[in-house]
Amino acid sequence: MGPPSLLHLTTQIVATNIEKYPAGLWGVLSESQWDAILRARVAQKTQQLQRPPTTTTAAATEAAAINSSQKITLLPALFAKHLSLIEQHPHNTHLANSRTADDLLWKSILNYKFRESGMNRPTSLCVPCSCVERTLRECADTLMELICRVEDDRAVVGYAAFVAERTREEQANNSMLLLKDDSESDSDNDEHHHHHQQQQQLQQMEENETANSDINNDELLHRHQYQ
């Protein structure tokens, strides 16, 4: 077997130091290169777990077996916070759909956080992914239908309130117009009555003047007769 290639050595070095690189730099890789680095990372962690203990005593071997079965085997090759930073970066959208990351990393991450025999493991992890996706889509459709129904009800209620408000405004305007008409008619009646009184006063004054002139004429006639 010949010496390892430069590509193999580079892949091993990058896989060992995934956490040390900025998340935005991973966008220069293709999906196949990213998958090769993830496989190398998982292989490195697996070799570390399978490394024989330094001591050969029976107690040390038994302790290592217990730790391996309970804790070390559940440690993921890459923790979720590092993998999420890489996949959620806007430069790495093509890496976020890696099937290799789902199979080799995310499954071990979930098993590490929610043990298969643990009490806090969600029931959704016990059914196929397609069933979970279908259930989530149905829940989302139902939620959107309820939101649209509430918005429609609010629109109907809002229109009814608008109509009631406009009706009240029209009634108030009509009442004000009626009051204005009544006040104008009252003022017209008062003006007509005042004018009629003035006419009567003028007529009375004319009659008085006529009567006075008649009295004066009678006096003049009477004086002429005695002269």
Q: What is the pLDDT of residues 132-177, one digit of tens each?
A: 888 888 888 888 887 777 666 666 556 567 667 777 887 787 777 6
Give me the half-sphere count of Cα atoms (radius 13 Å) on the Cβ side of residue 25: 6
* 3 and 68 Cβ atoms separated by less than 8 Å: no
Q: What is the pTM of this model?
A: 0.51
Dihedral sign for Cα 27, 33, 36, 37, please.
Answer: negative
pLDDT above 80 (res 23): yes
Residue-wise pLDDT for 81-133, tens only, equals: 999 999 999 999 999 989 999 888 988 888 888 887 777 877 777 777 778 88
* Mean pLDDT on 67-71: 48
* 78 and 21 Cβ atoms separated by less than 8 Å: no
Specify the amino acid at residue 147: I
pLDDT above 70 (res 180): no
Return the closest-CA partner of residue 67 out of 77, 55, 53, 88: 53
* Mean pLDDT on 51-74: 51
